[in-house]
């Protein structure tokens, strides 16, 4: 192919129970993944060697400073994994346009890794099967397998074991990220074996999702990371309460700190953005939508 454009997706977790710490250092979790439209774009163009660059013009400077456009970028790690697996020596000028806030609990870097796998498969005409892509994805991170396809799925083990659920209609969300960035590893390390949430919590979420009631699913959910992070981050609890106090259903996604606020209609987001501004909070907010069944590949 002369050129390829590959869009990535990101996710929210509707409920996340950390169950226990495993012998390999990872944590066994139980979660419901829901993919959302917010995503990055990777551009591939012919070039004699591999060159990689990136840019994030829509993100604030402090977030830009966090994103490396070098070998440590998860997208580049995905490219190296593909080269190792296939032995492919073709080049490419690859450019990553970032829109997903980093270290936000949205699986931004993981989505780029998944998009790199998919994009290279087309660009280099590798003909890797879905199973091969899934295996490669697993080696890159716990969230990467889900972000290959998206939709709605229950994730267990370290999050890579997926049972797909029916995806319903699209729902509008306002994603709100306080200026706190959370390292996933450090957040997991706070777990001391105790949580109010377990697989029964996630069973209830799954039931509501299967009934097509995402609002109810969010209300029934719980996230162990809220228990781990809120006591030391007053602003996080404050951020969640800001929306709950206004009658909105809100959950923290992944290891945080982003809050996903359920909206009955898209224009409610504009009112909320005005209120955030009026209250003097420097929270980044982005309007997005969950994927609907017919929008999935």
Ligand X SMILES: C[C@](O)(CO)[C@H](O)COP(=O)(O)OP(=O)(O)OC[C@H]1O[C@@H](n2ccc(N)nc2=O)[C@H](O)[C@@H]1O
Task: Catalog residues that contact ligand ATP under the rule CB under 6 A.
Answer: 66-68, 73-75, 102-110, 112, 143, 184, 254-255
For 215, what's the count of Cα atoms within 13 Å in the CB-facing half-sphere?
10
Among 141, 145, 151, 178, binds ligand X (CB under 6 A): 141
% helix, strand, coil for the chain, step of 5: 35, 25, 40
CA–CA dist 288, 58 (Å, integer): 15
Catalytic residue among 30, 40, 143, 177, which?
143
Among 57, 61, 185, 247, binds ligand X (CB under 6 A): 185
**Residue 8 near residue 249 (C-beta atoms within 8 A):** no
11 is catalytic: yes
Residues making up the binding site = 101-111
Q: What is the DSSP string of 50-113?
A: EEEEEE-TTS-HHHHTT---STTSHHHHHHHHHHHHH-----EEEEEE--SPTTSSS-HHHHHH
> What phi and psi, each to the nearest 5 degrees, are found at residue 296?
-90, 145
Nearer to ligand X, 34 or 124 (CB): 34
Catalytic residue among 11, 98, 149, 177, which?
11
Q: How far is the CB of 107 from ligand X (least distance, A)?
A: 6
Question: Judged by CB under 6 A, does residue 118 bind ligand X?
Answer: no
Nearer to ligand ATP, 33 or 197 (CB): 33
Q: Which residues contact 284 (CB under 8 A, 6 or more apart)?
A: 59, 60, 63, 101, 176, 177, 179
- In the shown chain, the binding pattern of residues 231 to 270 toward ligand X, with x for contact by CB under 6 A and - for none, equals -----------------------xx---------------
203 is catalytic: no
Looking at 163-198, list the stretches that DSSP marks H as alpha helix, in order from N- to C-terminal side.
Answer: 184-189
Q: How far is the CB of 103 from ligand ATP (least distance, A)?
A: 4
Using CB under 6 A as the binding criterion, the count of chain residues that bind ligand X stands at 19
CA–CA dist 158, 22 (Å, integer): 9
CA-based torsion, 181, 269, 33, 29: positive or negative: positive
Question: Judged by CB under 6 A, does residue 208 bind ligand X?
Answer: no
- CA torsion 261→265→266→269, rounded to 10°? -50
Q: How far is the CB of 86 from ligand ATP (least distance, A)?
A: 21
Nearer to ligand X, 92 or 155 (CB): 155
Q: How far is the CB of 246 from ligand ATP (least distance, A)?
A: 26
Interstrand relation of 152-156 and 161-164 (parallel, antiparallel or unpaired): antiparallel
Q: CB under 5 to 8 A by kind: which of ligand ATP, ligand X, none does 29 bind?
A: ligand X
Nearer to ligand ATP, 69 or 216 (CB): 69
Nearer to ligand ATP, 65 or 271 (CB): 65
Catalog residues that contact ligand X under the rule CB under 6 A: 13, 16, 25-27, 29, 31, 107, 110, 141-143, 158-159, 184-185, 188, 254-255
User: Could you give the residue numbers annotated as active site?
Assistant: 11, 143
């Amino acid at each position: 192919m002369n050129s390829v454009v590959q869009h990535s997706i990101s996710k929210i977790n509707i409920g996340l129970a950390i169950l226990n710490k495993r012998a390999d250092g990872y944590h066994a979790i139980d979660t419901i993944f829901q993919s959302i439209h917010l995503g990055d774009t990777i551009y591939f163009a012919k070039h004699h060697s591999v060159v990689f660059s990136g840019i994030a013009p829509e993100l604030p400077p402090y977030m830009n400073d966090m994103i490396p456009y070098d070998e440590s970028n998860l997208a580049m790690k995905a490219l190296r994994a593909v080269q190792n697996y296939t032995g492919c020596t073709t080049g490419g000028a690859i450019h990553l346009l970032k829109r997903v806030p980093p270290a936000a609990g949205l699986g931004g870097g993981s989505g780029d890794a998944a998009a790199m796998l998919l994009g290279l498969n087309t660009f280099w005409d590798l003909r890797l099967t879905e199973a091969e892509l899934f295996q490669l994805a697993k080696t890159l991170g716990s969230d990467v397998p889900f972000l290959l396809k998206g939709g709605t799925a229950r994730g267990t083990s370290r999050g890579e074991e997926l049972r797909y659920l029916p995806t319903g209609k699209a729902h509008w969300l306002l994603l709100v990220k306080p200026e706190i960035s959370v390292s996933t590893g450090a957040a997991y390390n706070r777990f001391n074996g105790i949580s109010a949430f377990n697989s029964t919590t996630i069973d209830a979420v799954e039931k509501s999702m299967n009934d097509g009631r995402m609002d109810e699913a969010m209300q029934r959910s719980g996230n162990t990371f809220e228990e781990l992070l809120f006591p030391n981050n007053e602003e996080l609890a404050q951020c969640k309460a800001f929306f709950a106090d206004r009658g909105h259903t809100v959950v923290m996604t992944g290891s945080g700190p982003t809050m996903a606020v359920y909206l009955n209609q898209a224009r409610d987001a504009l009112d909320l953005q005005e209120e955030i501004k009026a209250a003097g909070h420097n929270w980044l907010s982005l309007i997005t939508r969950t994927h609907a069944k017919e929008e999935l590949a």
